């Protein structure tokens, strides 16, 4: 096993483990639990009411939604554009490929929290099924690995996917969307860095990583160490964030997040309006409130540091700007 896989194996996964670690009980919720120890320690240091605790520790509301049947199961309409196991094709030029439904952490607000089961075939594309799809879709110039979290795959498995893409001269961008760099920074191994570097240098497809981060306190020294490796290897690193009630729904936290990322050469790309997902409705806020927070940022952040504020619709029509 690689080191990051051992770290993952040592994570907190049961209510009892959470209770022992944090010294207080947690409500029973009908969703999986997973908190790697490094993150658990950060949560403890920040305090159990902090933005990290809210994102990763279970809350009673999750179960309430299940009972009342409120909230959406598929809030962004993944199902509408599903073209086979793990392949979603909504926009003409790019496809989402999900090689695994697994993640290194269970974000309580996750928009796919009702869809990502460990054995879900809907989020398991194989290299060969991906190849089959691309053979008949020359209009696609970008493959976006998502999940779950694509960096849950080991380096040698990931390499199979990258090798498979090498056959397609029309693929010019290869993108990874991942929570891993802020959760288990050890995942940014030298091998992974080398693989992505090679993709960019030898295969004519530019590799890019979009990290998922919602609060500047997620970006610590260990996280930066991993990301700097990629940046040194000329891999573009961008960030996407979700606006979440109680976590970052104030101007100063959003400002700090985007400004702090940009200072490290990580470009804020999207600010997602939260989805009204079943089990995550307690993070939801109205788009009018989002606009009140976002618009003043234009005045205090350089344009290249301000992400697009977007929302998704449950009918699967895709992202639209939440503010114009
Ligand atoms: C968000 C998304 C993408 C990526 O869109 P970009 O605007 O290129 O970041 C691609 N496919 C689907 C289905 C998406 O939801
Ligand atoms: S990493 Fe992404 S897909 Fe996984 S639980 Fe968090 S939000 Fe959901």
Mean pLDDT by 10 residues, the chain (324 residues): 94 97 96 97 98 97 83 88 94 97 97 88 94 97 96 96 94 97 98 94 90 98 98 97 98 98 98 96 97 98 97 89 91
Closest-approaching ligand to the CA atom of 96: 1
Q: Name every protein residue with a CB atom under 6 angstroms from any ligand 2 atom.
A: 103, 106-107, 110, 112, 147-149, 179, 212
pTM above 0.95, yes or no: yes
Ligand 1 pocket mutation, candidates 76, 125, 143, 144, criterion most atoms within 8 A of CB: 144
pLDDT at 97: 98
Closest-approaching ligand to the CA atom of 240: 1
- Report phi then psi at 145, rounded to 5: -85, 125
Other C-beta atoms closer than 10 Å to the C-beta of 60 total: 11
pLDDT at 317: 87
* CA of 106, closest atom in ligand 2: 5
Strands (DSSP E) along the chain, which ranges?
82-84, 87-91, 94-97, 142-145, 173-178, 206-212, 236-242, 267-272, 308-311, 320-321
Q: Rounded to an integer, what distance in angstroms lies between the CA atom of residue 291 and that of residue 274?
A: 13
Ligand 2 geometric centre to CA of 103 (Å): 6
pLDDT at 66: 75
Ligand 1 geometric centre to CA of 42 (Å): 31
pLDDT at 69: 80
Atom 1 in ligand 1: which residue has the minimum CA distance?
A: 319
3-state secondary structure of 295: coil
């Amino acid at each position: 096993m690689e080191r990051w896989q051992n770290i993952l194996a040592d994570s907190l996964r049961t209510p009892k483990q959470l209770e022992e670690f944090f010294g207080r009980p947690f409500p029973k919720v009908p969703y999986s639990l997973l908190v790697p120890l490094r993150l658990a320690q950060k949560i403890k240091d920040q305090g159990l009411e902090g933005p990290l605790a809210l994102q990763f520790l279970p809350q009673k509301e999750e179960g309430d939604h299940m009972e009342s049947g409120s909230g959406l199961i598929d809030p962004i309409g993944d199902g509408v554009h599903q073209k086979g196991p793990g392949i979603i094709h909504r926009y003409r030029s790019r496809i989402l490929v999900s090689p695994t439904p697994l993640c290194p952490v269970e974000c309580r607000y996750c928009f796919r929290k009702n869809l990502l089961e460990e054995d879900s075939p809907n989020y398991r594309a194989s290299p060969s099924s991906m190849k089959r799809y691309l053979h008949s879709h020359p209009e696609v110039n970008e493959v976006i690995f998502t999940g779950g979290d694509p960096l849950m795959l080991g380096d040698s498995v990931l390499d199979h996917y990258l090798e498979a893409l090498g056959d397609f001269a029309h693929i010019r961008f290869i993108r990874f969307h991942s929570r891993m760099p802020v959760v288990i920074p050890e995942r940014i191994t030298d091998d992974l860095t080398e693989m992505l570097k090679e993709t960019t240098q030898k295969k004519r497809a530019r590799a890019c990583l979009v990290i998922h981060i919602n609060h500047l306190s997620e970006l610590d020294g260990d996280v930066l160490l991993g990301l700097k490796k990629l940046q040194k290897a000329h891999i573009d690193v961008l960030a996407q964030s979700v606006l979440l009630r109680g976590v970052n729904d104030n101007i100063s936290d959003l400002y700090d997040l985007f400004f702090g990322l940009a200072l490290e050469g990580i470009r804020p790309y999207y600010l997602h309006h939260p989805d009204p997902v079943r089990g995550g409705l307690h993070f939801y806020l109205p788009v009018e409130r989002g606009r009140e927070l976002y618009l003043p940022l234009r005045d205090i952040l350089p344009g290249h540091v301000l992400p697009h504020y977007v929302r998704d619709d449950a009918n699967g029509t895709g992202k639209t700007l939440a503010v114009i």
